[in-house]
Amino acid sequence: MTTRTRILTGITTTGTPHLGNYAGAIRPAILASEDANADSFYFLADYHALIKCDDPQRIQRSRMEIAATWLAGGLDVNRVTFYRQSDIPEIPELTWLLTCVAAKGLLNRAHAYKASVDKNVETGEDPDAGITMGLYSYPVLMAADILMFNAHKVPVGRDQIQHVEMARDIGQRFNHLFGKGKEFFTMPEALIEESVATLPGLDGRKMSKSYDNTIPLFTSAKEMKDAISRIVTDSRAPGEAKDPGNSHLFTLYQAFATKAQEEELRGELLQGLGWGEAKNRLFQLLDGQLGEARERYHQLMSRPSDMEDLLLVGAKKARAVAAPFLAELREAVGLRSFVNQAAAPVAAKKKAAKSSRVLSFREGNSFRFRVLAADGSPLLLSSEFADGKKAGAVIKQLQSGQTLDIRTEAYGFNVWLDGECVAESSAIYADAAQRDAGIEALRVALTPLED
């Protein structure tokens, strides 16, 4: 079976998305999520926002705007895991575990921290003036975002490559200290999409809020048209040939046009099309492509409870991966339950078996059961049975000591009896290693008690 590539992307919630954000990050990510071989995790990086912004209203508004932009742009939440970083409590806990193994020298080399120190030194300030621990340890939080879900690929701009490399360094250090031959963390790779557009702003520089040269994405058609009218062009009059290769207006058009549309406008500019008409062509192109999405965006913004529901569903999916993985990491570093700890491995196994439980319950007109590990975590959920006697007979067979017929499927597993699937794993694990650990825990839980 082909392993699906796990892709993880986050957007910091400090501003209103503009055309450059859409072309450079959101649109390519949505297209990538449609790949059947991709397992995509997209999140609102609202913990990161606290490092950059101390305006609660701005952060809250940005969280809504960015969520609405993803959804209006066509993100299918049934195909991906879409969540808010702050809805996953395992993220800050993992951040602390990683902080405890991250080398200070490594964090000293982080670009953002070094830039802030250099700026302070240039202006005669104390080197650490105004620098918070949030800014300093930002790379560890980003490492936790990536390593929690064992992402294989992390689409980033070139200025973020260092953070992915630091996540690798920190993950390798944790594996070395606590893995005992096991690789807890997958080593992520930065994914640089050379073909993804970096759009110029109104003045020709990179489109950025810091330059105040952005084109609004979903605010209104009028505001978009007004912004386009302010694009800086040369002084060539209508009738004079224009050079498309030196026109950032044409570069913007290229990012959204088909090849045929691009060649048509190129030819007309060479033949003297006026800049005013060229700007109108750009507006018509963008409005045609983004008009429906703009309507969906405003509908979503007017019904925040709908977005809240979708994000909570996404958080539940994300935590189904994060919670069991963090429990494994806590165990690895020694944060273990006193109750389940024993003096020797054999005694520990016996204790786990005695402490595990099988819970039967009724669901509608059917009967089911769960197998719980010694620490109470769910390991197995049965199929539905027509009566309680059938469910009880299956439980008895599973606890009889016979060899279990366990069949893996992706990062989960099923249990079979007499040619019939009778139960499935209670969680979809992050990788094969965690799945195998879950299978071993199930075998221990179902080990018959010794007299």
95 known ligand binder = no
Query: What distance in Å separates the CA atoms of residue 86 and residue 203, rounded to the nearest whole number?
Result: 36
209 known ligand binder = yes
What are the Cα distances from residue 60, in Å, to 54, 57, 87, 219, 259? 11, 5, 14, 17, 39
Amino acid at 448: P
Q: How far is CA 44 from the centre of its chain?
A: 8
Residues in the chain, how many? 451
CA dihedral 93, 98, 103, 108 (to 10 degrees): -60
Q: How far is CA 255 from the centre of its chain?
A: 25
159 known ligand binder = yes
145 known ligand binder = yes
426 known ligand binder = no
List the alpha helices (DSSP H) in 215-360.
221-229, 248-254, 259-270, 275-302, 304-333, 345-355
Q: Determine contact, residues 106/135, Cβ cutoff 8 Å.
A: no
229 known ligand binder = no
Q: Determine contact, residues 340/347, Cβ cutoff 8 Å.
A: no
405 known ligand binder = no
210 known ligand binder = yes
What are the Cα distances from residue 282, in Å, to 134, 204, 366? 41, 16, 60
14 known ligand binder = yes
Query: What distance in Å separates the CA atoms of residue 231 and residue 243, rounded to the nearest whole number?
Result: 15
Query: What distance in Å separates the CA atoms of residue 300 and residue 320, rounded to the nearest whole number?
Result: 27
Q: Determine contact, residues 17/26, Cβ cutoff 8 Å.
A: yes
266 known ligand binder = no
199 known ligand binder = yes
Query: What distance in Å separates the CA atoms of residue 191 and residue 185, rounded to the nearest whole number?
Result: 18
What residues are designated binding site for L-tryptophan?
Answer: 145
What residues form the annotated binding site for ATP? 12-14, 20-21, 157-159, 199, 206-210
